[in-house]
Structure formats: C-alpha cells, structure tokens
Chains A and B, each alone.
Chain A
Amino acid sequence: MADGGMAIGKPISRIDGSKKVTGQALYAAEYDAPGLLHAAVVSSRIAKGKIIAIDAIEALALPGVIAVLTHENRPHVAAFRYAYKDTVGPPGGPFKPLHDGKIRFADQPVAVVIGENYEAARDGAALVRITYEEEAFETDLDVAKAEPFKPKLPRIGVKPAPKSRGDFDAAFAAAAIKISAAYETAAQHHNAMELFATTVVWEGEDKITVYDKTQGSQNVQLYLKQALGFKLKNVRVVNAFVGGAFGSGLRPAHSAFLATLAAKHLKRSVRLVLTRAQMFSITYRADTRQEIALACDADGRLLAVRHACVAATSKNEDQQETVVNWAGLAYACENVAFDYQLARVDTPTPGDMRAPGAAVGVHVLECAMDELAYAAGIDPLELRLRNWVEHDQNDNLPLTSKAQKACYAQAAQRFGWSERSFGPRTMRDGQDLIGWGMAGGVWDAFVAPVPTRARVTWRRDGRLEVAAAASDIGTGTYTILAQIAAEAFGVPVEQVEVWLGDSTLPFNPVEGGSWMAASTGAAVARACDKLKVALVKAARKQFKLRGRKGALSVSRDAVIGEALPSRAVSLNEIVTAAGQDITATGTTLPDLAGQRKHASYVHSAVFAEVRVDEDLGVIRVKRIVSAIAAGRILNPKTAGSQIIGGVVMGIGQALHEEAQTDHRFGKVMNHSFQDYHIPANADVGAIEVIFVQEHDPDVSPLGVKGVGEIGLVGVTAAIANAVFHATGKRIRSTPITIDKLISA
C-alpha cells in the first residue's frame, strides 16, 4: 500500500459525522428497553471511615422508588479482589463497589436507588440517610510525599524508571552552567462531555446487553463476568459511540458495576447515569511533585540530567506512569539519574489521562530545558538541536524514525521563531507583554501489546463490512478503518461499512495509548488480504478452475484473470453465486522480536504565543503551531483534529485545570464544570498543525504511529515558557493562574 492511494492519507470527513450532527448516534444512556428502570448513586459524605447505619425509609416512600441497594442488601458479588481486576489496571486491589461498609474516599458510592423513572431515582438518592463513623485520612500529596515509596510491582505495559547511567552527581557538581528546580503539577480530571452511564438490558435468564461508556467493551465484559458472576457468553457490552473518555474509560467504571448489580437484583433493565460531580470520584490524573536538575557546557551540551518525581496513588493500588524516563531519551546525555516514587492518599486510584506520564514529565523536562537555555544564554530551540540524539539511550536501542528536526524547522518557520528576541519582557504590544515559547514533545509509538483482530466481509448487498471490538472515542477510528479497507479494494469509502464498539466483534484490547490506528488498522489490512484470497478461491470454485491454471487476482471490486469467461467477474457476482457473504479475519501481533531490536516514538515541536496583561496577569494564548512526526498519517483531517484537541487540553492543563481539594474534608470542592475549568471557545486562539510524514515500515505494519496523545505533549511547557518569555516570571506550578502570576 503506497501513500497517495485512493483513500489512505486523504482528508476524508469522518464517516460517522452525519449520525453525530443529527443526534442519531446513540451513547450509553440512550438505548431504550421495555420496562426500563432508572438508578442513581448515593455518594459518601466522608472521605474515610465506615457506615454505621443506613436509613432508606424516606427514599423508599418517595413515589416511584422501588429499591435501595447497599452493601447490606445487595445480591452476592465476588469477594476476592482478583475478580475485580481488569486488563489494564495497576498492581493492587481494585475498589469493590458496595462490597462492605468501609469508606475509602470521598464520594465513594455507598448506595444505589432504583426508581420507575429518572426523577424518582435522582430524588430518592437525596433521601437516603447514612450515619458514618469517621477516621483520620490524608488527601494532601504535600503531606503524603514525606513517605514516598518505590512500587513493589511494576505496572504491565508501563516502563519503570530506567537505571541511572554515568555519574550525575560528579558531572553536575563540576558543571559551570546548571539549573535545579522543583515543579508541581495539579491533579486533573478527564471530564469528557458524556456523563458516565450504563444501560443494562435484561435479556432474561441471566443474560444481559450492557451499553456502557468505556474504551474497551471486552474489558468490561470480562469484569462484569468475574465480579458479578455472569457467564461470559451471556454478557454483551456495546460502546458504539463514546462521548469522549481521554483515559477515564480505560478501566471499568463503578457505574457499570452498579447498574449491572441493580439489573441482576431486580432482573429488570436498568439505566444508571452518574452526575458530573460523581465523575470526580472515578479516577484522575495524579498530582505530582517533581525535581529536575540539568547541567550543560558553554556550548549547551548536556552534561548531567536528573529527574525525580513523587506521584499520588491510592491506598489500594499502585498507579504508575512513565514520567521521568523522557529526560533520559529526549536529549543526548551520558550522566542521567532517575527517581520515580509514589505516595499514598485517600482518594480513588489515579488513572491514565491523555499522554499519561509524559503530560507531566515532559512538561517539567521542557520547562527545565528553557531554564537551562536562559542560564546558558542560548536560544531554546538551538539548545535542543545541540542535544540531538538519534537513539534511545535508556534502552540503548536505535530508533525506527525520528523526524523531530523537521518538526522543529517547519514549526519554527511557520511560527516565525527567528523574529523572536531572546530576553524576557522584550516584546510587547501596549499593556500586553508578548511571550514566545517552545517545547519538544515525545510519546511512545505503541502497538497493541496483545493480538488484535478485525473481520472484513464482502456482503451480498455489495457493501464491504469491517468489524472489530475496537472503540471510537472521537478519535476517528470508524473513518480510518473504512479508508484502509477502501484502499485495499480500491473502492470508494462510501462503500465501506464499519462496525465497532461491541464485545461480540473480533477481539481488540482496550483503546488507549494511541495504538489503535497502528494495530487495528493493520488487522483490517491483513483481513483484506485474506478476504481477497477467499474471494479468488470462491471465484475458482464458481468457475471450476483447478490447479495453477489461470492466475486470478482481485482488482477493485472484481476478480480478474485470463481464465475467467469475460476476464473479470464482479465480487458481487461471486458472493451471490456463493450464496453467502464472504468473510476473512486478520490478526496483528506485537512485533516482540522487533521491539528488542529498535524503539519507536512519536515526536513534536510546539511553539506558542501568549499575551499577558502586564498589570492584571490575564493570559491569552494567541496562537500555537504544532508540528508532528507520527509516521504515516492515515487521515490528515481526523488526525489534525486529534492534535488540535491535544493542544486545547494542553491549554487547559497549562492555564485552567486543577482539582481543588479541601484536605480537611478530603474532598474535591470544584467538582463541576462551573468550578473545574476546561478551556471554553474564547480561550482558544489560532492552532496550526503540521504533519511531518515519516516513512517507517518498522514501527507497525502500516507505518502508523498514532496521534492520540502527542498533540498534548509539550503544549503546557511551550505555554509556560512563553509566559516566562513575556513576564520574566517562571511559574513552576501548573495551572498558571492569575493569582500565581500576580503573587510571583
């Protein structure tokens, strides 16, 4: 398959677009069922302790309320923590909803109210009276970090901090130019627009169809089977449309468990929707406290790098992310020290959020590089170029590709970086201080860690069908898989129909880490190859061609060959003659041998212009240019939107987003869109995306690297560095809010 084909690489509008703009796309809370009941969750008022008494009398008296489920009266569920393990969770014991009367974090679900309609459930939930006995707790990372620890078990699929190399202490001590700084990043909440919701359709005899907001239908299927005692074949999980997730739907949410528990209890269909406030008790991006030290020679060459991090995790699980590793591979350096530790707080377990680890780790590294640039008096872009490295020094492996130099060059040129004056506070427009900042970005080019499958069918109605239990959380998966199949057969994309988000479809692991385009895409391509073989075989059968005689091949929507009566027979005719749709399944395996021989990353260069009102500290992000090297881009339109979305989330991380916890109550106080700010339309200035194409056949079968995370990485640092350039103030704590600028 070459670039410049019929479909791959084309900026095709997303094929599910018309469903989404007309309101026809159905999300988890939008499936109907006869006799559907509604459920609402009661959340714990305290952060830690135990339930002494539950009084549901008033709730049960509300017209329409039919049941109140608690740990005291729930049906049997699995007792052992193993049953609650999902395929992507970290080491430890997962939270077991309604398991016992213990309270482990604020807003923990403690009861489920089930009503004949939504209002009965919603309003009944407010009438459940619970008496608690409180215990001492700690939610403040700044206190908990006094007792940091190295996780005993690594998290599968997450690289632990590498072994330190060289002699950081000696090199740092000897260096003339160096910086050392402490940074803080705030806890963030994913806050996808769709509320966590589950509609469980009771199909009878312990058989359920579960419409759930998740990034992995088969992960939820397995979880519900284990935790609630269903047979695997009797649980079908559907997530055909997901209203954003950004990592919050990687692990099964307690909403899925509770809705299914209610359905099982009543043997009825049940819908449960969490409130926005309750979504703050599912998971979050861990807050971190980081230390970084960099030293260079007079030419700016790095002599010593040290990056240390303490990240929050829960009391019951060890969430781990790749935070400090980037400092050892983004730039050439022989003396590098790493330290990655966790500290326990009484909160739900933190989880992955877009570009987990890199979002906070690369942020600090790239801010520190800017600090070093100013310490050395070298242009920040130039400093990065002087420390160019083309192999992974952490694992001592060559890279399959790294077109980041082109990213730097093209983005700098588009941005006009050469017009920048070096000194802080040297560019202004009236009251506005102008700041230009830049950063590099890096993220793993993952392929799925397990076999990934897709099925392709030439149907008798002339449609080419693609099916996989993959998820499209807004990423454009429907569209790129259609493109891959259309390209393989040379047919228009409109002829392809794609089915995703259903646990009954061919196996796909949870959608996360930007591997889906590479892995599921390759599985579709392989399935297409196999389908062509099957179609040729069917043609041979139809025309009774035996042996080697008469080579046949598929060309667009026909099988061609000299041996055929009219030299060609349409695929439609073949499937009609066969009397059935013809199907093939393709599988992609992780290239384990290749992974030992080389490493792969996606890269970016981000340039940001901010305007900061000198007196008032009002920051506006005027424009951002982001250049991305992510292998082959299947669809620059949808991939471009992924990058823009990452940039916008980066604006939020840099300027707005922060869980504000009252540590006296152990509770996030800004648990609403009113108080937890994500960027609004007015906050987002011009964003320009440049894709630097890489030809990288070794990274994945289609040469694809994935674009879901990289758009975010580096954005926060570019903005923070721009704020420094504008104001001369180095705010080492995100988000950078007016109060911090005013007080600095």
Chain B
Amino acid sequence: MNRFSYVRATSLDEALSALAVPGAAILAGGTNLVDLMKYDVAKPARLVDISRLPLGGITALDDGGLRLGALTPNADTAYDARIQARAPLLASAILAGASAQLRNVATTGGNLLQRTRCAYFYDPCMPCNKREPGSGCPAIGGVNRMHAILGTSEACIAVHPSDMCVALAALDARINVESPGGARVIPIAEFHRLPGDQPQTDSTLGADEIITSVDLPADRFGPHHSYLKLRDRLSYAFALVSVAAGLRLEDGVIVEARIALGGVAHKPWRDREAEALLVGSAPDREAFDHAARAILAPAVGRGGNDYKIELARRAVVRALSQAAAGAPQSQSDKKVR
C-alpha cells in the first residue's frame, strides 16, 4: 500500500471539496479499493472516507420505484422486503455475487465502481492498458478464459465483474450523482464505458463527482425475471457468464423484454435490438434462441474465452425460459431451473 492521507468526511460538501485534489479517491465499503491498494494497483494520494455520510437506506419514490442510497450495503438491499417485492431481480443478482461478509460491507456506489478482476490488471508486474495506459494488453493472447467477447478493443478485453450492475442494467436504473457544479442523473446504460482506446476509464462518472443514490423504476416484470449466473465453482466466484432477464407478458405474448449480460463485456451488456426481436412473440424457446443468437452475433473469442459465445447463447435462452415460467433461478439451490 502506498502512503496516503486520510480524510473522514462529515458532509457531502466536505467530501466533494476533499475530492478536489489530484489522486484523491472515495472510500466507502472498501472491499474493492482496499483490495486494489493492497495489490499496489490503486495508489490514491488521499482517501476520502464517506462511509459516515447519510447516504444509506432505501426509500420509496412517488412513481412506484425505489431509491437506493449510495452507501446502502449490498446485503441490506438484497434482503429488504420492498426490494424483494418490487425488484427481486436485483436482490437475486446481489445474492449471486461475492460472499455474505463482502455483501455486508460493499455498497451500492462501490459496486457500481467495482473495477475489473482481470488477473493482468491485478498484477503490477504485468503490462496492462487499464492500469498503465500504453503498456499493452497481455490478456490478448494470454490466459483469457474469463475475458470479454463483446465490445472489446485491441487495448482491453477485461470484463466488468459486478452481478448487481447486470440487474441494474436490466432494470434501467438511474444513477444520481453530485459534484460541486450540481447534481445530474446518469442512466445505467451510459454509466459504464466500453474500453475503446481508453480502457483506464471505467465509467462516465466525473473525477469530481460522487454517487449519492440509485433509482429503480417501478416493477415491470412481476414474477417473470431471473438472474442466472454460471461460474467455475458454485459460489464465491466471478461469473463466466451471467444473464439478467425480465419479461412483460400480456395474453401469452411478450410485450417487453430486457436482457442484460455479465461476464462478457467491459460493461453490463444490453442489446436493445435483440430485445425488440422478442416483442410480439410467444415466450418460447425458438424466440429466445433467435434473440440470443442476435445478441451474440457480434461476439469475438480470443482463444481461452471462445466457449463463452456458445455458453452465453445458451444462458440467455435458459434465463429467458426461467423468466417466462416465473421460476427465477435460486441462488442457494444450485440446480439450474
């Protein structure tokens, strides 16, 4: 760990002004940032501890949606009765990730800003464009069975590791942020970036901005959702592929479909054109397969991760089948439904 100064913010304004120093970083739960600091990957000059700001809790919105405080621990979100009733897809995705201990500490805002788990990024002895721009991407041509198949660039094939964010993407969440210049709202789809030639930048959050909360729209799917996560062991592992699926059915016909994929790209992956293919169809395997093929059509394997293209296709079909049946994947019974 590098040497840094430590500031405990007592108000949002204080946090924002403490952040206005080059190299300053926000510390909330710390489960990712402290980890990165221990690996000497993150070397902030100043840590601005916002964990005591009143940015926790979950509140109901007038439109039937819910607002998650940026500092709400993931576990509190997942087990909240309103979340379980109105956004069960989010609860399920959170419970598919990390461990109970980590979920007790990791926060909404921190999870959104979670950095990739690419082993090359995590190892300061290795080149990595995300950690050291211009040094190269050894995952290309290297050990890359965990890596991205969609939206990659020659500069980076890392994946965003979050489960929570995949559900947020499917739910069209909105991220509320504040800076000294004022507040703004970032739709989840615009929050995370693709790597392009700037893989060092994960998100569109400004360096002077702090996430204050996340808004979830009113529930659209009822029982027709599922979060299906496939991984190398049955718990406590990052996704090879995950799928958050939500369907709105009327008279046996799909009127709205949302499909977000994790473990396949630098951001939670949505393909609205593929989703639109499902509208007007009966919720059957043929329709699901059609959409899945459309989503994976642009996918490119890099050797070790070639299997993900087929696996993701099958996972999309299964998650949609689970959603259609109103039988979401259990995160404790490991049998895939």
Q: A–B direct touch, CB within 8 Å, in complex?
A: yes
Residues of A in contact with B (beta carbons under 8 Å apart): 45, 62, 119, 122-123, 126, 431-432, 611, 613, 615-618, 620, 655-656, 660-662, 664-665, 667, 669-670, 672, 674-675, 677, 679-683, 737-739, 742-743
Partner of B336 from the list A616, A656, A665, A680 (CB cut-off 8 Å) is: A616
Is A431 touching B336 in the complex (CB atoms < 8 A)?
Answer: yes
Q: How far is the CA of A126 from the CA of B43 in the complex (A)?
A: 12
Is A679 touching B233 in the complex (CB atoms < 8 A)?
Answer: yes
Q: How far is the CA of A215 from the CA of B299 in the complex (A)?
A: 50
Q: How far is the CA of A310 from the CA of B108 in the complex (A)?
A: 50
CB-CB nearest 4 A-B residue pairs: A682-B235, A739-B307, A45-B125, A682-B234
Is B307 touching A743 in the complex (CB atoms < 8 A)?
Answer: yes
Is A739 touching B145 in the complex (CB atoms < 8 A)?
Answer: yes
Is A669 touching B235 in the complex (CB atoms < 8 A)?
Answer: no
Is B336 touching A683 in the complex (CB atoms < 8 A)?
Answer: no
- Nearest chain B CB to A306 CB, angstrom units: 33
**Residue B7, interface by CB 8 Å:** no
Is A683 touching B143 in the complex (CB atoms < 8 A)?
Answer: no
Q: How far is the CA of A669 from the CA of B122 in the complex (A)?
A: 10
Is B240 touching A677 in the complex (CB atoms < 8 A)?
Answer: no
Given contacts A431-B336, A669-B120, A742-B307, contact A664 B230 (CB under 8 A): no
How many chain B residues touch A (CB < 8 A): the figure is: 41
Q: How far is the CA of A122 from the CA of B306 in the complex (A)?
A: 39
**Residue B13, interface by CB 8 Å:** no
**Residue B142, interface by CB 8 Å:** yes
Q: How far is the CA of A583 from the CA of B204 in the complex (A)?
A: 75
Scoring B residues 114 to 153 as 1 if CB is less than 8 Å from chain A, else 0, what string do you get? 0001011011111000000000001001110110000000
Closest to A670 in B: B119
Residues of B within 8 Å of A62, CB to CB, are 3
A617, A665, A669, most chain B CB atoms within 10 A: A669
Given contacts A613-B336, A675-B119, contact A738 B232 (CB under 8 A): yes
**Residue B2, interface by CB 8 Å:** yes
Residues of B within 8 Å of A669, CB to CB, are 119-120, 123, 142-143
- Nearest chain A CB to B65 CB, angstrom units: 33
Q: How far is the CA of A680 from the CA of B124 in the complex (A)?
A: 28
Residues of A within 8 Å of B40, CB to CB, are 126
Is B235 touching A683 in the complex (CB atoms < 8 A)?
Answer: yes
Scoring B residues 173 to 201 as 1 if CB is less than 8 Å from chain A, else 0, what string do you get? 00000000000000000000000000000
What are 12 A-B residue pairs whose CB atoms fall within 8 Å in the complex? A122-B1, A126-B40, A431-B336, A611-B335, A616-B314, A617-B311, A618-B334, A620-B334, A677-B233, A683-B233, A738-B232, A743-B310
Is B141 touching A664 in the complex (CB atoms < 8 A)?
Answer: yes
Residues of A within 8 Å of B336, CB to CB, are 431-432, 613, 616, 618
Is B143 touching A738 in the complex (CB atoms < 8 A)?
Answer: no
**Residue B315, interface by CB 8 Å:** yes
Q: How far is the CA of A86 from the CA of B237 in the complex (A)?
A: 38
Residues of A within 8 Å of B142, CB to CB, are 662, 664-665, 669
- Nearest chain B CB to A511 CB, angstrom units: 29
**Residue B79, interface by CB 8 Å:** no
Is B120 touching A656 in the complex (CB atoms < 8 A)?
Answer: no
**Residue B236, interface by CB 8 Å:** yes
Partner of A670 from the list B3, B143, B307, B315 (CB cut-off 8 Å) is: B143
Q: How far is the CA of A664 from the CA of B141 in the complex (A)?
A: 9
Residues of B within 8 Å of A683, CB to CB, are 233-235
Q: How far is the CA of A669 from the CA of B337 in the complex (A)?
A: 34
Is B314 touching A123 in the complex (CB atoms < 8 A)?
Answer: no
Is B143 touching A662 in the complex (CB atoms < 8 A)?
Answer: yes
Residues of A within 8 Å of B2, CB to CB, are 123, 126
**Residue B67, interface by CB 8 Å:** no
Closest to B235 in A: A682
A119, A677, A739, most chain B CB atoms within 10 A: A739
- Nearest chain B CB to A683 CB, angstrom units: 5
- Nearest chain B CB to A739 CB, angstrom units: 4
**Residue B318, interface by CB 8 Å:** yes
Q: How far is the CA of A672 from the CA of B41 in the complex (A)?
A: 15
Given contacts A45-B125, A674-B117, contact A660 B240 (CB under 8 A): no
Is B138 touching A620 in the complex (CB atoms < 8 A)?
Answer: no
Given contacts A662-B138, A674-B117, contact A656 B233 (CB under 8 A): yes
Q: How far is the CA of A198 from the CA of B317 in the complex (A)?
A: 53
Residues of A within 8 Å of B124, CB to CB, are 126
Q: How far is the CA of A315 from the CA of B301 in the complex (A)?
A: 35
